[in-house]
């Protein structure tokens, strides 16, 4: 079962259970309009813990404002449709100004009960406040069961690394074979989709931590995303090479070494040291004598600089954040 489907199914189940339990509690308390507690619960369950808490906080403030506006409108104009219209005008404008968009419909449904009851006496007021608290409370409780998807995150990180390893290996082969079949860059499309999915998962996991958030997954995927962008730029230059310059074998061999040693916990210090030696050897190679070789060697030089940037991105990441296995 795909992970996305599992998440959506689990989210749907949490919404349904929150709504049912909210309605049951409201009915046990003999509240009027008990079904509204379920509606509030449905609207209060978000995909992450932080979103739920943020939404609940805004809705508490919005509901307090809605009660105040409704009291002024109903007791000034009367418990009439016109009074409710004026309430809607003021409340919706306030929600737009304060970005309480998610509270407009939910709070207005609760306020409409006063129009039906034709009163805002303490008993009616308590009824609506309890409906609101039960619904929002169940929404918050439902999201406490969301856990950081650490296992799937590890899988996504490994898959991302494996795709980059393959890209490096294919680059190694392409340097020595200008006629290499199926070298069309489609692997980068797969890599981009994988990185986007991993990044979304990393941010979702972060939003499901109520305590101080762990940014390590986000930082790791961000580093790999920058590396993949660098690899793609290298690919564009590599795909234009039509010959096998005298420097090609040295660079091809080094690409293969990077591919083999590529891993999550590699500090790349040894690779950068080897790169410096490679750079030195390249500069000692005889200059090209033909125009085509000159152009292709120039492209290989650009690719080398890209590979250096690729390695330095990992080095900077290790120095700035360290890597948590």
Encode pLDDT of 58-73 as tens digits: 888 999 999 999 999 9
Query: What's the confidence (pLDDT) of residue 265?
Result: 82
Least confident range from 47-61, 107-121, 276-290, 310-324: namely 47-61
- In this model, does residue 21 exceed pLDDT 90? yes
Q: What is the pLDDT of residues 274-319, one digit of tens each?
A: 999 988 888 877 776 778 878 888 899 899 999 999 999 999 988 8
From the list 182, 174, 183, 186, the residue with the least C-alpha distance to 300 is 174
The better pLDDT of the pair 40, 284 is held by 40
**What is the arithmetic mean of pLDDT over 80-109?**
92
* DSSP-derived secondary structure letter, 118: T
Query: What's the confidence (pLDDT) of residue 37?
Result: 92
d(CA 179, CA 281) in angstroms, rounded, equals: 26
The better pLDDT of the pair 164, 48 is held by 164
For 150-320, CATH gives: 1.20.120.940
Provide the pLDDT confidence category of residue 11 given band limits of 50, 70 and 90.
Answer: confident
Among 5-9, 41-45, 212-216, 270-274, the range with the most confident prediction by mean pLDDT is 270-274
Question: Count of CB atoms within 10 A of residue 109's CB?
Answer: 16
First-residue to last-residue Cα distance in the chain:
27
Query: What's the confidence (pLDDT) of residue 184?
Result: 84
Which sign does the torsion angle of CA 62, 68, 74, 79 carry? positive
- In this model, does residue 324 exceed pLDDT 60? no
* DSSP-derived secondary structure letter, 209: -
User: What burial class does residue 54 get, using C-beta atoms within 10 Å of its C-beta: 0-12 exposed, 13-18 middle, 19+ buried?
Assistant: middle
Query: What's the confidence (pLDDT) of residue 276?
Result: 92
**Mean pLDDT computed over every residue of the chain:** 86
User: What burial class does residue 81 get, using C-beta atoms within 10 Å of its C-beta: 0-12 exposed, 13-18 middle, 19+ buried?
Assistant: exposed
Query: What's the confidence (pLDDT) of residue 58?
Result: 82
From the list 258, 253, 234, 252, the residue with the least C-alpha distance to 314 is 258
Would you kindly state where each structural domain of the chain is located, as residue ranges? 3-143, 150-320
Query: What's the confidence (pLDDT) of residue 319?
Result: 85
Extract the tokens encoding 194: 């994988």
Query: What's the confidence (pLDDT) of residue 2?
Result: 46
From the list 231, 243, 247, the residue with the least C-alpha distance to 170 is 231
Query: What's the confidence (pLDDT) of residue 1?
Result: 39
Question: ∠ CA(63), CA(120), CA(124), 5° rounding?
Answer: 85
- In this model, does residue 54 exceed pLDDT 90? no
Q: What is the pLDDT of residues 135-185, one digit of tens each?
A: 988 888 877 766 555 667 788 888 999 999 999 999 999 999 988 888 888
Cα-based torsion angle of the residue sequence 272, 229, 291, 183 in order, rounded to the nearest 10 degrees: 110
Whole-model pTM: value is 0.64
Query: What's the confidence (pLDDT) of residue 148?
Result: 57
Query: What's the confidence (pLDDT) of residue 13?
Result: 84
Query: What's the confidence (pLDDT) of residue 211?
Result: 60
Provide the pLDDT confidence category of residue 75 given band limits of 50, 70 and 90.
Answer: very high
Query: What's the confidence (pLDDT) of residue 172?
Result: 93
């Amino acid at each position: 079962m795909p992970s996305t489907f599992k998440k959506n199914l689990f989210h749907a189940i949490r919404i349904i259970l929150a709504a049912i339990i909210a309605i049951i509690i409201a009915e046990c308390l003999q509240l009027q309009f008990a079904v509204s507690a379920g509606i509030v619960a449905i609207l209060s369950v978000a995909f992450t813990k932080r979103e739920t808490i943020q939404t609940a906080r805004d809705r508490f403030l919005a509901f307090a404002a809605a009660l105040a506006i409704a009291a002024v409108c109903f007791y000034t104009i009367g418990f009439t449709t016109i009074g409710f219209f004026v309430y809607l005008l003021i409340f919706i404008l306030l929600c737009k100004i304060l970005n309480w968009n998610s509270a407009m419909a939910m709070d207005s449904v609760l306020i409409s009960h006063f129009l039906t009851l034709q009163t805002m006496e303490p008993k009616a007021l308590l009824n609506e406040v309890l409906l609101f608290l039960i619904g929002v409370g169940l929404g918050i409780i439902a999201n406490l069961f969301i856990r950081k998807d650490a296992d799937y995150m590890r899988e996504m990180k490994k898959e991302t690394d494996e795709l980059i390893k393959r890209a490096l290996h294919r680059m190694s082969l392409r340097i020595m074979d200008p006629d290499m079949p199926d070298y069309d860059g489609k692997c980068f499309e797969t890599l981009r989709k994988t990185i986007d999915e991993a990044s979304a998962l990393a941010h979702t996991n972060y939003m499901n931590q109520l305590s101080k958030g762990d940014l390590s997954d986000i930082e790791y995927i961000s580093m790999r995303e920058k590396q993949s962008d660098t690899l793609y730029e290298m690919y564009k230059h590599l795909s234009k090479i039509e010959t096998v310059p005298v420097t090609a074998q040295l660079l091809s061999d080094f690409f293969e070494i990077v591919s083999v040693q590529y891993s999550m916990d590699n500090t790349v210090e040894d690779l950068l040291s080897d790169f410096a030696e490679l750079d030195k050897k390249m500069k000692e190679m005889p200059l090209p004598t033909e125009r085509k070789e000159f152009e292709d060697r120039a492209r290989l030089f650009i690719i080398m600089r890209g590979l250096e940037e690729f390695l330095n991105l990992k080095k900077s990441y290790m120095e700035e954040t360290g890597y948590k296995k």
